[in-house]
Structure 1
Amino acid sequence: MSEARFRLALKAVRQGAWEFDLRTNEGYRSPELVQLLGVQQAHPTLSDFLSNVWPDDRPLVVQTFGQLRRGERDESVLQFRYRRDDGQTVWVEQHTLVERDEYGEACRLYGLSRDITLRKQAEQDLQQLNATLEARVAERTRELEAAAMRLATQNAALEARTMALEGFAELARGLTMQADPQVLLRRALEFALSVLPEGYGTYSQLEDGLWRTKVLVGNRRNAELQQVMEAGVPYDMMPSLSEPWSTRQPLYQAVYAPGSDLDEKLGSAIHALATLPVLVKGEPVGILGVVLFEQRPWAHVDKVVLETVARSLGVAMENARGVAELAQRTQELERSNQELEQFAYIASHDLQAPLRAVTSFAQLISDRYGALLDERGQVYLRQIVSNGQHMKHLVDDLLAFSRLHTQRRALKPISSAAVLATVVERLKADIEALGAQVAWDSQALPSVLADRGQLDSLLQNLLQNALKYHRSGVAPHVRVSAERDAGFWRFAVTDNGIGIGQQHFERVFEIFQRLHSRAEYEGTGIGLAVCKRIVEGHGGHLWLESTPGAGSTFYFTLPAVPVPEVKTKGAPWRVAHRDAGHGI
């Protein structure tokens, strides 16, 4: 390689070459090295070189130089700090090789040196970063250890709370079956005492300004105290009870002072006391008390257990009240409903005879004496006949509605296709008059568990609705289908009528609710209410989907027959319309 190329290569790798004659003590630095080290001397002696080496690094450099001169080493790599002429310090990495004469004596040193200041700075930064990270890790470890201790404490409290909840859940499981709430109170106290040293438990209530013990579990070891608490103690004379009652906060006394409540002799057996308010809807209803026969600090776990029991007891008592009130209201509603249904049945049944008489005699007057009446009289008579007929329909529908509960029959497997065919045959005249079509798949319609008469009424009401509420100038088209839905069959009755707005989806199923006047569409407003009661009486559900101006689909579910049914082959679709030649 030429001299120019060699120097260009040194410059590219930011290195400088040097030589040192061990016999003459003279050195040589390449221009690249002179520039790299920031010095003026290109031919330094060993002393000149060492004078610029950092004092702390100088012993290692001298030692290594001696080893190379004595032949103990043939090669070395050193890293040391070097002071430039301008006073700045750089890190130098120096690679040295030894040249020997024919006698094997070291005569000359050759080497390459390069500036590694940036690398050293990066190493120092990395060390500093590692130190910082290690410090942070140590700090975080300490924090985690402290958190672990707190978590252990919390876990102990959580385990105690869980134990209390599980135990009390077992106690409260039969709450709704208990007529006497004292049974629940006794079990709650028994559970609380089971996790504490020897003592007894009480539940006290405030009655007419007097504290009275309503439940006692254990032995007070003081018959006189028992008699006093049963007789009643004024509110202000029992701070251990009145304080948690007024503050709604537990009161824990690790060392009970005899005489603080009542006479000192009465409390001689009490050494530690905890009294907790039992709250229902945020208001105190009683005080849960636990007495220990030995002095004992109330640990956090003890407090968690007792407070959980008191809180759960309050919730259970609130639920018990709600259950009792709900049961009473339900019983009253059931009795009221039965009375109303019975009244509706009797009233509608008894109204039939006079209504028939009114409409019959009105019709008889019209037939025999109508010619003797003027125009206004004939209008009045027609109104009597028309309203009488409407009232008859209303009473008939009301009677049918009340019979749904008064005349229930056992559900049996019924062919929905056969019932639908009967209904369509019954409505044949209306279907033909409207030019309507009623379509269904006789093979796809299933057998269901139903009351045949009620299923007949359900399908007839839905079909009559679909035929009645048709669009002007548009022939009604009604389709009945069914799909399996778990243990039920979901039926759909779809029409192309006037439709129903979404805001009326619930209202149409309420009794006597009409969306149109009688002048627009005849009816009593009971039909869909009857349908809903029939479906719900079968354990199903009735709902609708509709688009105004496009039509409606009424869905209802009925229980499926539990055994597999065998279907016979038949025509896939049957259509009923005005053309009697096609059949129904």
Structure 2
Amino acid sequence: MDSQALLGLFNNAALLLALALLIELTRAEAQPETRLRQMLIGVGIGVVAIALMANAWPLDPDFIFDARSVLLSVSGLFFGMVPTLIAVTISAAFRIYYGGSGMLAGLLIISSTASIGLLWRRWRPPTRSLGVLELYGFGLVVHIAMLLCLWTLPSPVFWSVLQQIALPVLLAFPLATVLLGRLLSYQFERRRAQEALRASEEKLRCYLDYAPLGVFITDQSGRYVEVNPAAGRMLGYSEAELLGMTIPQVLAPEAHAAGMAHFACVRASGSASGELLHRRRDGSPIWLRVDAVRLNEHRFMAFCEDVSARRATEAALRASEENLRVIFEQAAVGVALIDSRSGRFLRINRHYCEMIGYTVAEMSSGCSFQDITHPDDLPLDLGNMRRLLAGEIREFVMEKRYFHKDGHVVWVTLSVSPTWAPGETPCTHVAVVQDITDRKRAEAELRLKSAALESSLAGFDIVSEEGLFLYVNAAYLRLWGYERPDEVLATLPTEHCADPAMPAHIMATLQAQGEGTFEFTARRRDGSTFDVLMACHMLRDERNRVLYTGSSLDISERRRIEAEIRNFNTELEQRVRERTAQLEAANQALETFVYSVAHDLKAPLRGIDGYGRLLQQECAGGLPGDGSLFIDNIRRATQQMGLLIDDLLAYARLDRRALRRELINLPALVAAAVDEHAAEIQHLAATVRVEVPPLWPRADPDGLAQVLRDLLENALKFHRPAVPLEIEIGGRRTVQGTAMLWIRDNGIGFELKFHDRIFEIFQRLQRAEDYPGTGIGLAIVRKAVERMDGRVWAESVPGAGATFFLELPL
């Protein structure tokens, strides 16, 4: 490295030191960091950068080497965005002006080093001070990046330049970065310390002026040299009158000896506390607690508190200690006494423990408030405690989160007050907590509802008692054709209705009823109209003001569809009436035909049966072969046919017979059906249990009696051979308000897949030879029950019996 290069480097170093000195001078007086000040700092850094480039180490006529990388990177690290951008702009402009083949590399170095400084500033923890190692590492990163920017040079030039500057750059410039950074860091730290000292002095002055305690400062002879207003009020003197007076002049005569001994103790040991009797200006006595400290060899400070009332009430206070303990334990809020240094709970009440799920023993066995505080809230809580311990604040209130013992979060309002007096050593503080979890949930729910209201498809508005819009949501704007809420708030509700009298009608209805739903024609901003359905309510806010709310939907399309549906329904009803008349006529004709056919068939069947009986009686012995057997078969077939016709007639008569609806005594009707089949029950040795509560369904007496007969006959018929027959008849009132009756047997049962089939006409599951019948009985049961607006169904297991259920209206 030649002498010219060394001279350039020394000049650069001198300029960097000059920059640090300049910043020190500009920051000598605390000034607010305004945007203009930042711009001026940026201009100053830019000028220094120009000076650096002007005193650079020229490697060749087109390429210069200087310490601007140190300057700009440190500028980004310490001064932030605005000064650095201005300095970069000035530096880049000068470099462009300087020109040469290294201009592009120079611009890249300017932008990259400044960017690294800004990014380092952004990503590093702001509370950590800049140490030598961090600054050295920062300088290495910056200047490695600087060397990488030289790749833009032609390859021969790049390697030549790199051989000349790499070692000086990597050795000297990080050290220069450390030196400049430490100087600036020292200046910043000293400025912050000065500002903290001034703030502390201002707080102390404010405290002395507004402190409730009397503050006396004396010289070594005991003469008052400074007092605060509270001291003058305490003794009845003005501040000017107290200055120059001595300690004995304000003491009661009988307390002179004790007072002077107290002062001597302060001078000897540095502090003393005691209660001394003083005399006010008007001669009245006053007991003061005096806490005195030695500030230095020539000044002593005493904090005085009027304890006259305390002495007079000490007995009452002792008597009230138990009451205070009860209040502490039974308070509706959580109260705890906490060690201010460690945060450990020293004493805690029951409500506090219930709030966070721990017992008093668990909380008092070394647990601290840090252990149960949410980590996101702990920094603020600890910061407030540091300020409290430092005397910067006397109390604080904050909202924070605790962890409940089971893991869920409990929101509380925390109020902290110290138990030490000003000037005393911090020891403990009282924490009062109130559970606000429900309030926080309500706030979150309110935010959610507000978001839902804004995203609702229904228009929503709030109108004052005077008829002025107070709020509209986005859907309301879309419905009425407005773009911004302020456009609506400047209008009246009458402008939004085709009928201007509608708003007054709505308000009058709400005043009378409190709520209502209205359909009316609305007018949009452009004059077009649409049909709207609005649900409105009247309510009062926290100041008891009347408000009207409305939730609106565009029902224009619904009204159009309703009109079409009404027209379609009218046409459909006419078609249904016509079709119903046709079906009724056809059913009537079919029933008449069935009845006539069934009735006309009985006459020839009676003839066939009669002639068969005569043949049996008169020719029984003269019939050849199986003649008697054939006649028996003929007679059985005609009798079966007669039964089938009778059942068919009964099925047809159900629709022909008028339906009577009466309240029926169901237990009595069941008992009558059982008595009617008493002979058959006795013959089968069957057991019939009847447990029907007093129920009075509304049904047709004849129809229900026939249903019970048919179901009981089925239970008796379909029994299992060699198995004692058991029948249970029960009932109850359902939760739907209907009467339910069931008939359960232990007969042969059936498979549930045939459930619907057994209620159809002429359908049988067993052979007629095994279980005689026509297959119409259950069809009659279903038809009769449905005519009475009831329903019938069955449950069964093959070989285990069946249960038939009836449900009838009450």
TM-score (norm 1): 0.48
Structure number with higher relative contact order (C-alpha < 8 Å, ≥ 6 residues apart): 1
- Structure with more helix by fraction: 2
